[in-house]
Amino acid sequence: GQQLNQSPQSMFIQEGEDVSMNCTSSSIFNTWLWYKQDPGEGPVLLIALYKAGELTSNGRLTAQFGITRKDSFLNISASIPSDVGIYFCAGSSSNTGKLIFGQGTTLQVKP
């Protein structure tokens, strides 16, 4: 079946540093999504990517849909304490909305 490998598993960084995380797939996806989950809450959509090569920004967040359609990355610039949480990538290879989720990257930011 389809698999998503997300890395790194966890990160502990200093406030102000930039962060990068990525996901790779064993098969081609036509949609990549990035979510953030705060403790006790559901995942919240950060960025959606629908086209190979697409680069999209949302404030300090930037994500790209890899041209091979098998990978995506998320960058966070100038991290702040409220960036703490678990970041998930998710991909879909169909138009039905069925998503496969990565294992998550736990981000901790030291003030």
Partner 1 sequence: DAGVIQSPRHEVTEMGQEVTLRCKPISGHNSLFWYRQTMMRGLELLIYFNNNVPIDDSGMPEDRFSAKMPNASFSTLKIQPSEPRDSAVYFCASSPSGGSGNTIYFGEGSWLTVV
Member of 2, 27, 28, 50 binding partner 1 (CB under 8 A): 50
Q: Which residues pair with 60 in a beta bridge?
A: none
Query: Binding of partner 1 at residue 31 (CB under 8 A)?
Result: yes
CA distances from 111 to 3, 13, 78 (A): 35, 9, 12
Q: How far apart are CA 92 and CA 29, in angstroms?
A: 5
- By CB under 8 A, residue 33 contacts partner 1: yes
Residue from the set 39, 42, 59, 111 that interacts with partner 1 by CB under 8 A: 42
12 in contact with partner 1 (CB under 8 A):
no
Q: Does 95 bind partner 1 (CB under 8 A)?
A: yes
Angle at 42 between CA 36 and CA 35, to 5 degrees: 25
* Three-state secondary-structure class, residue 33: strand
Residue 39 sits in the site that holds partner 1 (CB under 8 A): no
Applying CB under 8 A, the residues found at the interface with partner 1 are 30-31, 33, 35, 40-45, 48, 50, 88, 92, 95-104
